[in-house]
């Protein structure tokens, strides 16, 4: 069964193109490591909540945009092996491909697919 890694983060709006380039370069590595798809979505209609919301979850500042992303893997096993390879890949090291956002406010997790229609 397929496996999904999901991510929510806040990116400085001025860094949109830097983020896109960073994501495209990282996607090449993820695909080489076994990912089937890498999806990066730039927030367009992401309301602030009263109790909880995407902006609140990542402490989004007024000059930032929420990004919602996911990576589709063929299985958890492929994901685990792929993430290990990805973390060791020199193309994704901070000195080679610095993150154009605050990684401390990145939310991520791995998910089993429950419904896929």
CB 108 within 8 A of CB 9: no
pLDDT in tens, 21-79: 999 999 999 999 999 999 999 999 999 999 999 999 999 999 999 999 999 999 999 99
pLDDT in tens, 58-69: 999 999 999 999
- The rounded distance, in Å, linking the Cα atoms of 53 and 31 is 30
Domains of the chain: 3-112 (3.30.70.100)
Phi/psi for 45 (5° steps) reads: -135, 75
């Amino acid at each position: 069964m397929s496996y999904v890694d999901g991510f929510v983060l806040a990116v400085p709006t001025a860094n949109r193109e830097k983020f896109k380039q960073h994501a495209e370069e990282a996607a090449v590595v993820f695909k080489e490591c076994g990912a089937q798809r890498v999806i990066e979505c730039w927030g367009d209609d992401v309301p602030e909540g009263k109790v909880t919301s995407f902006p609140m979850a990542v402490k989004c500042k007024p000059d930032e945009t929420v990004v919602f992303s996911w990576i589709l893997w063929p299985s958890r096993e492929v994901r685990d092996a792929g993430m290990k390879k990805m973390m060791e890949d020199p193309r994704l090291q901070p000195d080679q491909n610095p993150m154009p956002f605050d990684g401390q406010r990145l939310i991520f997790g791995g998910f089993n697919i429950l419904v896929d229609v």
